[in-house]
Chains A and B, each alone.
Chain A
Amino acid sequence: MQEQPLLSISGITKFYGSFPSLSDFSLTLPAGKIVALLGPNGSGKTTLLKIIAGLLSPNAGSVSILGCPPGEESRGMVAYLPDRISIPRWMTTEQAISYFADFFADFDRPKAEAMLADLGIPFDKPLGKLSKGMREKVQLSLVMSRAAKLYLLDEPISGVDPAAREYILRTILTCHAPDSTVLISTHLIADVEEVVDEFIFIREGRLLCYDSADEARQREGKTLDEMFREAFRC
């Protein structure tokens, strides 16, 4: 019997006004992979992640996560890290932990507390009083403390210093369950090169390439970074 794919995207198209952000985009992702979503600015990466998360409705096509369309049920399986800080500034770190624990059944509170303590984040201060980098770390720690089936990470390492970047990538590698998939959108390809199992190249809202990172590297004799530069040369 064929195993059900974790994520199945079929012919989605999304317009912003008359501008097509995604055009007839189809993709199937299995469970247990770390997949890099790579493309230049405005290629449709964030739109794709938002549609999978259920925050945007496509004009055409469909998305299914373990057989469920984006909605209440899928939101219980998907952990989404947006490209901005979404935890309200009035919340303290402690309240943000309680918020995740209250609403997400798969949230591991001790794990989150340990991660945040490792990162030296104060628990009693409102997030508005923390630095931007610290707030990003809080958000990532909370998202990665969920035992979700699918993690959607939009530019998780773009705004942080190299030391924190290393910690975040290690967190992504170690925190996700073996049967879960991480879809990570980034420009910093060299940083995620060693972490990813598969990669997706996306250009002007169309799927350019979806391949295994190891196989592509062996076949082409180039790094992912080099392949990206070649594919998207200006």
Chain B
Amino acid sequence: MLKKLLKYDFLSIRRFLIPLLLFTPVLSGIGGFLFWITTFMGPKQILFSLGLSSMIGFVILALVLSVAVLPIMLVIRYYSGLYSDSGYLTLMLPVKRRTMIFSKLLCAFLAEASYLVVLFFSVVFVFGGIANAGNPFRGYAMVLVDIMNFISDLSGQTALILIEIILYVLVWIVLQFSILYLGVTLGAAIFQGKGKVWGSVLFCFVTNSAVSTFISLVELAISGGFAGLMSMQALENGLPMQFFLLIEILMRIGISVGLYFFNVRLTEKKLNLG
């Protein structure tokens, strides 16, 4: 059943996911090209340079804004899938609520993770490749060589940190969507009438800020407590950084699971369709 749910969840988001995945490298390419003109095209008039710089600024701003687009769209889709008219169909499916919400979370996770990968390579490879050499093709080769060198230079310790950072980002995505989707459920239960849609969507971002701040404070307190317990020798050896990262990852996984089950429970008990 999860496979079928995922199939339709992906079908429902593909209309904005695919253009976004294509838009990001294209935008990076344009940004890189503009940067290349500014850097490697000999002396230019001031107005021309100013125009180019402004365009680069706009491209970078668009790239930054595009990062926010996907979570907003996913939240709107989550709301409309469960609490708009479509909910009358979705919630009548002979499927467990927890499977339904898990599918939406998994879909959001895969979409966001793939977007971040595309964003990373767009900025590092497309933008970096064009912008960093007189000949763009030489630029791509340079970026490739840099990446290969980075991978071959990875020692056991650095590789471990890199894996932890990747894991941290992935867990961060799961946590963000667990909070956002719980916020939508709470918002749909609280807001009524015409303000229900935007009330719920905005409320989920408020919930996200509140819960994220709370988690950060708890993590700060825990790391402070651990640091107090650790010997100076351990701190000097650099062990705590990895240790704290691992603690944070485990804690965030635990919180995500808790928020997910809370969301399932609320969806089961506090249905609010019309």
Contact = CB atoms under 8 A, between A and B. Distances in A.
B8 A99 contact: yes
Interface in B73-94: 80-81, 85-94
Interface string A149-186: 00000000000000000000000000000000000000
A52 to B, nearest CB: 11
Interface string A42-72: 0000100010011111000000000000001
B86 A87 contact: yes
Contact of B86 (A46, A78, A88): A88
B15 interface: yes
Given A102-B4, A103-B4, A53 B92 contact: yes
A86 interface: yes
B94 A84 contact: no
B140 to A, nearest CB: 37
B95 interface: yes
A103 B6 CA distance: 12
A211 B64 CA distance: 65
A26 interface: no
Nearest to B273: A55
B95 A72 contact: yes
Given A88-B12, A88-B86, A57 B95 contact: no
B12 A55 contact: no
A3 interface: no
Contacts of B11: 90-91, 95
A73 interface: yes
Contacts of A82: 85, 88
A85 interface: yes
Interface residues of A, number: 27
A75 B271 contact: no
A86 B87 contact: yes
A86 B274 CA distance: 13
A82 B274 CA distance: 11
B44 interface: no
B265 interface: no
A225 B20 CA distance: 56
A61 B11 CA distance: 39
B4 A76 contact: no
A55, A78, A95, A104: residue with the most chain B Cβ atoms closer than 10 Å: A55
A55 to B, nearest CB: 5
Contacts of A55: 87-88, 91-92, 271, 273
**Looking at chain B, what size class is its interface with the partner chain?**
20 to 34
A72 B15 CA distance: 30
Given A99-B8, A104-B94, A86 B15 contact: no
A3 B10 CA distance: 45
B89 A87 contact: yes
A153 to B, nearest CB: 13
Given A50-B273, A57-B269, A72 B12 contact: no
A161 B93 CA distance: 30
A131 B151 CA distance: 57
Nearest to B80: A88
Contacts of B81: 88
A103 B95 contact: yes
Contacts of B269: 57
A65 to B, nearest CB: 12
B138 interface: no
Nearest to B4: A102
A72 B80 CA distance: 21
Contacts of A85: 85
A73 to B, nearest CB: 7
A201 interface: no
Contact of A84 (B12, B88, B95): B88
3 closest pairs, A vs B, by CB? A86-B88, A76-B94, A86-B89
23 contacts: A50-B273, A53-B92, A54-B91, A55-B87, A55-B271, A55-B273, A57-B271, A72-B96, A73-B94, A80-B92, A82-B85, A82-B88, A84-B85, A86-B85, A86-B86, A86-B89, A87-B86, A88-B89, A95-B11, A99-B8, A102-B7, A102-B8, A104-B93
